[in-house]
Amino acid sequence: MNRIKQLFEEKKNILSIYYTAGFPNIGDTIKIAEALEKSGADMLEIGFPYSDPVADGPVIQASSKKSLDQGMNLKLLFEQLKDLRKSVTIPVLLMGYVNPVLQFGVKNFCKACAEVGVDGCIVPDLPMVEYEEFYKGCFEEHNLSNVFLITPQTADERIHKIDGLTNGFIYLLSSSATTGKNLEVGNTTENYFSRIKNMNLKNPTMIGFGISDKQTFDKACSYANGAIIGTAFVKAIENGNIEENVSEFMKKFKS
């Protein structure tokens, strides 16, 4: 069984952490994964950087740029992840934009993911219709989940369609925003979260964008199966010792 499925069957209040591969140092990709698992992360989203990340705010933009400047690319990333499953047991997804995947080749990409033990992908600018027509077969053949995003503006009908097309989880954006905006849970956000909760989707849901502390994490968990933290984590590991920074950061959520 796919590790993602198993995780959602076994756990509640899932904490998933996003970080950019090759940041802060090019060789940190695996080190961070190990440190995160050790300090209690339930799932990982490893970002492969792109030169023009339109859905990202300044923090993730900067981490992507630094990573690219240090020589990161998909080929190198898959080399770095070669022994991933020797030390990391939690589900791992790759997250990034579609153009690097296209240039790597969709088939090659899926195959490489399966070989290193990646469980799924999040490609925000890959449209549903394209996925259905050209990618889905390949993803399923390699047992990869493809995760779609939804926002407060996504229509119910479309959410049901996404629910039918995916088999990992659905990524709920707390608002239509680039990454790094703070979550302000007001009435409209709560209505939206409740609306999704009451739709009885087949897939579990994770809330992301703007989760930065225990309070926002707990709030998100009351509406979904868990939450995703990105910008706050990337900021926390920018400088200093990786292991210390990771364990310090994770303590906040595990109390």
Partner 1 sequence: MKYKVNEKGYYGDFGGAYIPEMLYPNVEELRQNYLKIIDDADFQKEFHQLMKDYVGRPSPLYLANRLSARYGANIFLKREDLNHTGAHKINNTIGQILLAEKLGKKRIIAETGAGQHGVATATVCALRNLECVIYMGEVDIERQAPNVARMKMLGAKVVPASSGSKTLKDATNEAMRDWINNPVDTHYIIGSVVGPHPYPDMVAIFQSIISEETKKQLIEQTGNDQPDYVLACVGGGSNAMGMFYHFMEDENVKLIAVEAAGKGVSSGFSAATTYLGKEGVLHGSRSILMQTDDGQVVEPHSVSAGLDYPGIGPQHAHLFKTGRGKYVSITDEESLDAGLLLTQLEGIIPAIESAHALAYLEKMEFKGGENVVVCLSGRGDKDLDTYIKYFKL
How far apart CA 206 and CA 38 sit, in angstroms, is 22
Binding residue (CB under 8 A) for partner 1 from 14, 41, 43, 74: 74
Q: How far is CA 98 from CA 13, 32, 149, 255, in A?
A: 30, 24, 14, 37
What are the residues whose beta carbons fall under 8 Å from the beta carbon of 192, sequence distance 6 or more?
Answer: 152
Query: At its nearest, how many Å lie between partner 1 and the CB of residue 208?
Result: 12
Angle at 22 between CA 229 and CA 52, to 5 degrees: 75
Which residue in the list 45, 79, 119, 130 is annotated as catalytic?
Answer: 45
3-state secondary structure of 108: helix
Query: At its nearest, how many Å lie between partner 1 and the CB of residue 165?
Result: 13
Using CB under 8 A as the binding rule, whether residue 126 contacts partner 1 is answered as yes
Note if 56 is an active site residue. yes
Note if 79 is an active site residue. no
Only one residue has tokens 């020589």, namely: 71
Within residues 184-243, the interface with partner 1 by CB under 8 A covers: none
Which residue in the list 28, 37, 42, 56 is annotated as catalytic?
Answer: 56
How far apart CA 99 and CA 141 sit, in angstroms, is 21
Using CB under 8 A as the binding rule, whether residue 137 contacts partner 1 is answered as no
| DSSP letter (8 states) at residue 133 | I
Binding residue (CB under 8 A) for partner 1 from 178, 182, 199, 242: 178
Only one residue has tokens 């926390």, namely: 236
Q: Report the catalytic residues.
A: 45, 56
Which residues of this protein are in contact with partner 1, per CB under 8 A? 50-57, 61, 65, 68, 73-75, 97-104, 124-127, 129-130, 148-151, 153-155, 158, 173, 176-178, 181
